A = this chain, B = another copy of it.
């Protein structure tokens, strides 16, 4: 019997290694796997490359990982948020490298990795600073920039519910990068609010099929945890 659900969040991230590249789902806080990130901090892995839309804000999630000095490089579209002071401090100190990628190129490059493409000609960024030094080409009268896939060693994803095979459903806009990151990482680790019986997710409504998921862990939602 295949059961991808592990008993503790420590087990979920046990095989992280120094120098790993890690995709982290979320758009702001929505869909950010805060508890998995806490487990990464506890684990101790360092020299990490983080691929995410943002570079953390406040004191939790990616911000906490940066504060703990575990991050060597961030690949993201929008590092400058209100309260992104931990990223800013490290960045200004030259302690963290930034690869700034337009959000649509970030999504498309992650999808290219998950789909086995070698490179894509994308319309976004042509003629801008972010395309400097990159190969360009005019195709059918329009200009494109050649961009390469972004793979990762791990993806940390937050979903609403999953089953023991790893099928996932999400909740509202917390879906965001989860499904495409799950497809692009060598190992996809998912925190879910609920582990449900196999067969209870509607096969027409499964958003991430099990093939893209390696490990699940149940994380009791914060509010519930306080109440319990």
Contact A139 B144 (CB under 8 A): no
A118 to chain B, nearest CB (A): 4
Contacts of A204 in B (CB 8 A): 169-172, 205, 207
Contact A108 B115 (CB under 8 A): yes
How far, in whole Å, are A108 and B202 apart by their CA atoms in the complex?
Answer: 26
A186 to chain B, nearest CB (A): 15
A81 to chain B, nearest CB (A): 27
Contacts of A148 in B (CB 8 A): 139
How far, in whole Å, are A205 and B202 apart by their CA atoms in the complex?
Answer: 9
Contacts of A112 in B (CB 8 A): 120
Within 8 A of B (CB), among A193-220: 202, 204-205, 207
Within 8 A of B (CB), among A133-148: 137, 139-140, 142, 144, 148
**Is A119 close to B, CB under 8 A?**
yes
Contact B117 A108 (CB under 8 A): yes
Contact with B along A131-173 (1 / 0, CB 8 A): 0000001011010100010000000000000000000011110
Which residue of chain B has the shortest Cβ distance to A144 in the bound complex? Answer: B118
How far, in whole Å, are A205 and B122 apart by their CA atoms in the complex?
Answer: 29
A208 to chain B, nearest CB (A): 13
Which residue of chain B has the shortest Cβ distance to A122 in the bound complex? Answer: B117
Contacts of A27 in B (CB 8 A): none
12 residue pairs of the A-B complex, CB under 8 angstroms, read A117-B120, A117-B123, A117-B144, A118-B137, A118-B140, A118-B142, A118-B144, A119-B137, A202-B205, A204-B205, A204-B207, A205-B205
